[in-house]
Amino acid sequence: MSSPTSAPLRLGIAGLGTVGIGVVKIVQTHAEMIMRRGGRPIEIVAVSANSRTKERGADISGFGWEDDPVALGRREDVDVVIELMGGENGAAKALVETALKNGKDVVTANKALLARHGTELARLAEANGRVLRFEAAVAGGIPVIKALTEGLAGNRITRVMGVMNGTCNYILTRMEATGQGYNVLFDEAFKLGYLEADPNLDVGGIDAGHKLSLLSAIAFGTEVDFDNVVLQGIGSISLDDIRLARDMGYSIKLLGVAQMTGRGLEQRMTPCLVPETHPLGQLQGGTNMVVIEGDSVGQIVLRGAGAGEGPTASAVMGDVIDIARGLRLPVFGQPAETLTDAPPAVVSAGAPWYLRMTLLDKPGALAKIATLLGESGISIARMRQYSHDGSDAPVLIVTHKASSDDIAFALAKFAETGVVVGDPVALRIEEV
């Protein structure tokens, strides 16, 4: 490690929103501590944002200013560019490329950028002898990137899974706690500022899918492949599903799962049932959790704040301090040229399934469904028919292990029975 009297590490920050100002506050508040831990002073020399005069709760008057954020990547007095603007293309991509080509290291929280262009940016960084770090892009303050690239580097990773979008977890757990429906809690999350400008990035699973694709690349040594992440949001989850799952001993989570199988790389970000006794099932509010399984370490669980000024800025500064210390690792834990192009596995391994449907209240209706499931190669583990008023009967079925193909085939055939009212709901029960 270099001496504390070494020349300072000079930062240029693009984006002074919540996270950018959080970084400014940490540097200004903890300068002495950061110098001791990083082995050299760390200082901000220049910034860029949409407005120079906006009140931000931190003093930026002593920093150089660039109207064009890409100019930060060309400044001779900047050693590390911190990209916090967001966006998978445009100025963010141009800045990162410019910085790497001009001999700057880069720290970013931009999961969308890396999910779309991570492999090519890793090659660019390594071709120019630079590092590109992105701890803040996945699970906020949880050091999951560092865990995979460093602490667990001696393991063959068998599975990565987790709850990686706090907004979705907030909505689902509030539905369970308050008895209010999805639409009401969606509006509440919007008013609290928890949703992205495009809410579908959150509730549609896209944001969490970006994160999963990055973890997959590190865990399994593959090129980033967001396009083959199976995505399903939480908009179809009803209050009935929340209640019935709990009645059977499960919680519903938007769960990301990545694993390398004999068919290829399986990546999915979908609503699943998990046992309410597992740490994933007990996760409340906007908290994130990542579970990593390795052949030597077994299963480890990382839990913490997945977003917000402090946690995300903390992750950014962890990367900056590592650069100050002289730690230089390949972007995805191994040289980019060694990352494999793994075929996507589109068919999930067998698992139990939760099936909820409404049947016409007439003789033989349930028998038709049971027969159809049997003909589809699906056996029933548990079944409950709930009391009701009127002509329709809610039914819940938990299957033994079945493939997603068999479940899809059975669902398609349900409409032909003439006894199913509306669309049935099918959710995988993840074995955690």
- Cα atoms in the 13 Å half-sphere on the side-chain side of 67: 0
Please identify which of the residues 191, 211, 253, 362 carries the catalytic annotation: 211
Q: Which residue type, as a one-letter code, is found at position 396?
A: L
Instruction: List the strands of the sheet with 132-133, edge to edge.
Output: 64-65, 42-48, 9-14, 80-83, 105-108, 132-133
Could you confirm whether 146 is annotated as catalytic?
no
Q: What is the DSSP letter of 283?
A: -
In whole angstroms, give the CA distance from residue 416 to residue 410: 10
Contacts of 305 (CB under 8 A, 6+ apart): 140, 141, 142, 166, 286, 287, 288, 311
Contacts of 12 (CB under 8 A, 6+ apart): 44, 45, 46, 47, 48, 66, 72, 73, 75, 78, 80, 81, 82, 104
386-415 in b/e burial notation, b at 16+ Cβ within 10 A? eeeeeeebbbbbbbeebbbebbebbbeebe
Q: How many of the other CB atoms lie within 10 Å of CB of 61?
A: 6
Contacts of 258 (CB under 8 A, 6+ apart): 159, 160, 161, 212, 215, 216, 219, 220, 265, 266, 267, 268
In whole angstroms, give the CA distance from residue 402 to residue 306: 33
In whole angstroms, give the CA distance from residue 84 to residue 248: 43
User: Strand, coil or helix: what is 158?
Assistant: strand
Decide if 235 contacts 182 (C-beta within 8 A): yes
What are phi and psi for residue 210, nearest 5 degrees?
Answer: -55, -50
Q: What is the DSSP letter of 152?
A: T
Instruction: Show which residues are catalytic.
Output: 211
